[in-house]
Amino acid sequence: MTTAILEARDLTKSYGDRVVVDHLDLSCRPGTVLGLLGPNGAGKTTTLRMLYGFVPPDEGTIYYGGKRFSENRAEAKRMIGVSTQDDSLDYDFTVAQNLLIYASYFRPRVENLEGRVSELLERFDLTPYADESPHVLSGGYVRRLLIARSIVHRPSVLFLDEPTTGLDPSARLDVWELIDGMRADGLGIVLTTHYMDEAERLSDELLVIHEGRNVVHGEPHRVIDSVLGDHVIIVPRAEPAREEIAAWLQDRGAEQVATVLGELRVPVSKEDLAALTARFGDATWQVRPPNLDDLFIALARRNGRPT
């Protein structure tokens, strides 16, 4: 297995008496996407701020390329790219100048900088706007420019914080394609998103945290299977036997019975589905494979958050 380009061990951070990140481990290998998920307040932002170097951990160690971040900050900073959902472009400069000026902050100087900027403009379909102000760009193209800027210095690890928030479906798919391309180039990517389909589609591994602790970690399909099992049944609001079905499933040990917009959603095993069909053969429900939305709802309920 490829050695991790980013590794954090036992990360801990408190503010006053509140433990925000609690002995968290994570790693990201070159050419992979690590999806960092969790509800609001789970500790994702604080974790990222420690990994960026914005705040120091109270305990734990961060490694970039096998070297301690705390002892090799300048070298590690050169390995890190960060793209947040905030628009931090300079609108007094052109699209190309935004890339050039950002790259000038890094030492040693980015090799063949003008060529690198031209390469990124082409790759991110920004060449027609190179001499224009970012004001002319749509929201999707602003996001392209922000991501391009974050990798202009050729980092080894890219942090993408909510990269498609606020984008229309077409622009969102375009960003997905760009992420796929960067992964194929060998970049290690840490992705945070509230879109579960995005996390499931893009992530090679998932790390779900709650109250600063690791709740579940692994490949998306393995994580889903381990928590939810074989199927999810959806019983519509209008089904007369809905409450009876819910009670029956709970009696059989179903832990993750959730109501979403009046629909009953329950992960079930093959055996429970067969028994349910025999017991409530006249009732109406749908059956589908479990997905990451179901996982997130189940984990939220398991950890004491209402759905």
DSSP string for residues in 228-276: H-SEEEEE-TT-TTHHHHHHHHHHTT----EEETTEEEEEE-HHHHHHH
List the chain domain ranges.
6-223, 230-289
307 residues of the chain, pLDDT tens digit each: 579 999 999 999 999 999 999 999 999 999 999 999 988 889 999 999 999 999 999 999 999 999 999 999 999 999 999 999 888 999 999 999 999 999 998 878 888 999 999 999 999 999 999 999 999 999 999 999 999 999 999 999 999 999 999 999 999 999 999 999 999 999 999 999 999 999 999 999 999 998 999 989 999 988 888 888 788 989 999 999 999 998 898 888 876 667 778 888 888 888 989 999 999 989 999 999 998 888 887 777 766 554 4
- State the helix-helix crossing angle for 139-150 and 113-123, rounded to 10 degrees: 150
pTM: 0.89
CATH architecture of 6-223: 3-Layer(aba) Sandwich (3.40)
User: 230-289 has which fold?
Assistant: Alpha-Beta Plaits (3.30.70)
